[in-house]
A = this chain, B = another copy of it.
Amino acid sequence: MRIRETKPTLAVSVLTLLVLFALAFSPVHAQQPDPLPSWAEGPTKSAIIQFVQSVTEKGGKDYVPPEDRIATFDNDGTLWVEQPMYTQLLFAFDRVKELAPHHPEWKTKQPFKALLEGDMKTVGASGMKGVMEIVMATHSGMTATEFEKTVTNWLATHKQPRFKRLYTECVYQPQLEFLTYLRANGFKAFIVSGGGIQFMRPWTEKVYGIPPEQVVGSSVVTEFQIKDGKPVLVRMPKIDFINDKAGKPVGIYEHIGRRPILAFGNADADMQMIQYTKAGKGRRLGLFVHHTDADREYAYDRDSHVGKLDKVLDIAAENNWIVVDMKRDWKQIFPQ
């Protein structure tokens, strides 16, 4: 009798143990936390979640195998702040000031002279040609390793003027959540930016979780040389590729070799990337950030000198592109 009383007790213990093991190794279905807590409830958030659910639902009509779950994100104005000016251009301006002692000729040569005198009107008047001279003077003539160190040091020591945060802290919290959500659903996310590819790579893994090999951008010609017996890569003062506008689908073709199923931009310059993405077969998602929040970030679109969003606003609806209204759709802008 006493044995019979004992056996069930121990059997229950074994059962409990098994249940605990089973729980420890099984996915939790009930009460999943919101994967996008900084996104306000509404049609935008719903569209994103419905898209991700539909392409990951095995056996569903929109199912996409994990290897084809490619997502591309513009960087300036889509993942981080691009006002009052592209961060990379502010970097270039700063570098001219830092390098000026080694370049006495800049005292008389435009647009360097104007930049050193703080005459930004003249710098602006020098147009794309002048700006490219500044970019070339600060982005070439050094090894790849030296350039990487310079970028890393600058970003670690300079702050965005309005928010008084490092530029790498002026990234959008809702997008960090979106990237994490995509990764958790088997997506591979790439940056596809008009910005310099090697200006982004030193920090994208730490900040966005996007490794260097998943960053596509504009580039200068680079040469392999043996210097003092050591093999080095030297950055040359010549544009190799401009990864902007119609260049973005080309950059995607060259670097990724697959058509994205989701693309996210914020400007007319991202339109071709979204068109290329949406032209593929099956379900696709194209999104644009619309900067509508002057209080928490910036408000700009059709007339902006950076991130001009004009034509997209006219034709987004007819193309089923989602325009994310920053003020309405994002509960929080920056990470805390």
Chain A interface residues (CB < 8 Å from chain B): 2-3, 6-7, 10, 13-14, 17-18, 21, 67, 70, 144, 188, 190, 197-198, 201, 205, 211-215, 219, 222-224, 226, 230-233, 240, 246-250, 253-258, 272, 275-276, 279
Contacts and interface: CB of A to CB of B under 8 A. Distances in A.
A255 B250 CA distance: 14
A197 B249 contact: no
7 contacts: A188-B213, A197-B257, A212-B258, A215-B257, A231-B275, A233-B253, A233-B276
Given A3-B2, A246-B224, A276-B224, A213 B253 contact: no
A56 to B, nearest CB: 18
Given A215-B257, A256-B212, A250 B233 contact: yes
Contacts of A230: 279
Contacts of A190: 213
Determine the main DSSP class of A at the interface with B. Answer: helix
A226 B214 CA distance: 27
Contacts of A246: 223-224
Nearest to A211: B67
Contacts of A212: 256-258
A239 to B, nearest CB: 13
Given A222-B250, A224-B272, A275-B231, A257 B3 contact: no
Contacts of A188: 213
Given A10-B7, A10-B10, A67-B211, A253 B222 contact: yes
A254 B197 contact: yes
Contacts of A257: 197-198, 201, 212-213, 215
A316 B219 CA distance: 33
Contact of A14 (B17, B205, B214, B224): B17
Contact of A254 (B10, B219, B272, B279): B219
A282 to B, nearest CB: 15
Nearest to A271: B231
A247 to B, nearest CB: 8
Contacts of A223: 246, 250
A144 B224 contact: no
Contacts of A255: 213, 255
B253 A144 contact: yes
A279 B213 contact: no
B213 A256 contact: yes
Contact of A249 (B231, B240, B279): B231
Contacts of A272: 224, 231
Greatest chain B CB density within 10 A among A14, A205, A253 is at A253
Nearest to A232: B279
Contacts of A3: 2-3, 6
Contacts of A67: 205, 211
A231 B17 contact: no
A210 B222 CA distance: 26
A55 B219 CA distance: 32
A32 to B, nearest CB: 24
Interchain residue pairs A-B with the least CB separation, the first 5:
A212-B257, A224-B246, A201-B257, A231-B275, A224-B249
